[in-house]
Amino acid sequence: MSSTLKNDRYLKALLKEPVDCTPVWMMRQAGRYLPEYRELRAQAGDFMSLCKNPELACEVTLQPLRRFDLDAAILFSDILTIPDALGLGLYFSTGEGPCFERPIQNTADINKLAVFDPEIELGYVMDAVRTIRTALAGQVPLIGFSGSPWTLATYMIEGGSSKAFTKIKKMCYSDPDALHKLLDLLADCVIVYLNAQIKAGAQSVMIFDTWGGVLSQSCYLEFSLRYMQKIVDGLIQSHENRIVPVTLFTKNGGQWLSHIAATGCHAVGIDWTTELDTARAQIGSQVSLQGNMDPSVLYAPKERIESEVQRLLAQYGKGTGHIFNLGHGIHLDVNPEHAKIFIDAVHTYSKPYHLP
């Protein structure tokens, strides 16, 4: 497994080192909007069978790289692998998304959980990371990832997806000690899980705090950011003679930028509700920024996509420290040709912003 990279502008931008143009990748770039993905998933039978087969997970990871000039690959997996490894009985119900047979309801349920060995319970993920790194052959870096403790806990307590998050918020206020116990355990799980991904070959890691934005500020700091801070502190800092950069992304978390940047992470992900120039003025001297085009822009015609890319590049301005991305995952009914227009536009129009 070679550590030599043909294209390392993504890693350089994360560390605020000079680049020739702004790097770009897309959240959920390997997934349902690609016909070749849908074909492979049909062959696999279901989503988790795809995730648990390292060769198929590798193929899915590589599919968008064959179509687009992306600056990074991201491991094809799911944030719910951790609660699945904890024995909660993950299954996917048609039209409902992820569900758990044994959701967490009280302290007694939490006491049954224990940190696992990621090479055993989640060995299929580590095998996928190793397989992907070999197959990439240094083309671009590989991003590993996990859900944040808070986001994982929402699924584990709600029993699946939720709109109001009443069960976990009830625990926030009626039994905070129990919730802290669960979140602390989940932070330990994420640390061993991401460190195992790094040892297996992930060259950067990202923590998705998809549901942190549903909290008040005081609850966000207490129940979400506190545990992401613990993870940042516990991660392997360098591997293969390189720094392993960490990106934190809280959807709808733009009001907490300074708090997130203070964790010691290398980059902060922002969604389309936060302006790039505002974020750069607040925290751009501390960290790099990832984001932040509204994924729905990809429904637009070519000229509109290109003008939005140009607007956001101008908003960030000159210099490194920006990783262009969508503000959340690409929608499943987007035309892949529109994704190509977006990616090519970032490279084309960003070059003047990186001239000496």
Asked if pLDDT for residue 201 goes beyond 90, the answer is: yes
Residues 6+ apart with CB under 8 A from 173: none
Structure tokens at 92: 């996917």
Q: What is the pLDDT of residue 96?
A: 74
Out of 9, 10, 20, 41, the active site residue is 41
For all residues of the chain together, what is the average pLDDT?
97
First to last CA, the chain: 34
78 is catalytic: yes
DSSP letters, 254-312, are GGGHHHHHTTT-SEEE--TTS-HHHHHHHHTTTSEEEEEE-GGGGGS-HHHHHHHHHHH
Asked if pLDDT for residue 6 goes beyond 80, the answer is: yes
Distance CA 79, CA 122 (A): 12
Binding residues for substrate: 28-32, 78, 155, 210, 328
Out of 67, 78, 124, 294, the active site residue is 78
Distance CA 314, CA 353 (A): 8
38 is catalytic: no
Asked if pLDDT for residue 243 goes beyond 80, the answer is: yes
Q: Report domain extents, the chain.
A: 9-354
Out of 155, 193, 316, 349, the active site residue is 155
Q: What is the pLDDT of residue 2?
A: 61
Q: What is the pLDDT of residues 275-323, one digit of tens each?
A: 999 999 999 999 999 999 999 999 999 999 999 999 999 999 999 999 9
Q: Collapsing DSSP states into helix, strand and coil, what is residue 216?
A: coil
Distance CA 9, CA 156 (A): 37
Give the range among 78-87, 92-101, 345-354 with minimum mean pLDDT. Answer: 92-101
Give the model's confidence band at 253: pLDDT under 50 very low, under 70 low, under 90 confident, else very high.
Answer: very high
Q: What is the pLDDT of residue 94?
A: 73
Asked if pLDDT for residue 1 goes beyond 70, the answer is: no
Binding residues: 28-32, 78, 155, 210, 328
Question: In the chain, pLDDT over 90 holds for what percent of residues?
Answer: 96
Chain-centroid distance, C-alpha 11: 15
pTM: predicted TM-score of the whole model, two decimal places = 0.97
Asked if pLDDT for residue 234 goes beyond 80, the answer is: yes
Q: What is the pLDDT of residue 256?
A: 98
Distance CA 301, CA 94 (A): 32
9-354 belongs to CATH 3.90.1150.10: no
Asked if pLDDT for residue 108 goes beyond 90, the answer is: yes
Q: What is the pLDDT of residues 111-146, one digit of tens each?
A: 999 999 999 999 999 999 999 999 999 999 999 999
Report the pLDDT averaged over residues 181-194.
98
Report the pLDDT averaged over residues 142-157.
98
Q: What is the pLDDT of residue 92?
A: 85
Q: What is the pLDDT of residues 324-346, one digit of tens each?
A: 999 999 999 999 999 999 999 99
Q: What is the pLDDT of residue 93?
A: 75
Q: What is the pLDDT of residue 149?
A: 98
Which of 258, 256, 274 lies closest to 325, judged by CA? 274
What's the chain's length in residues? 356
Distance CA 102, CA 87 (A): 8
Strand (E) or helix (H) holding 308: helix 302-316
Structure tokens at 186: 């989940």
Structure tokens at 251: 């959807």
Q: Give me the half-sphere count of Cα atoms (radius 13 Å) on the Cβ side of residue 7.
A: 19
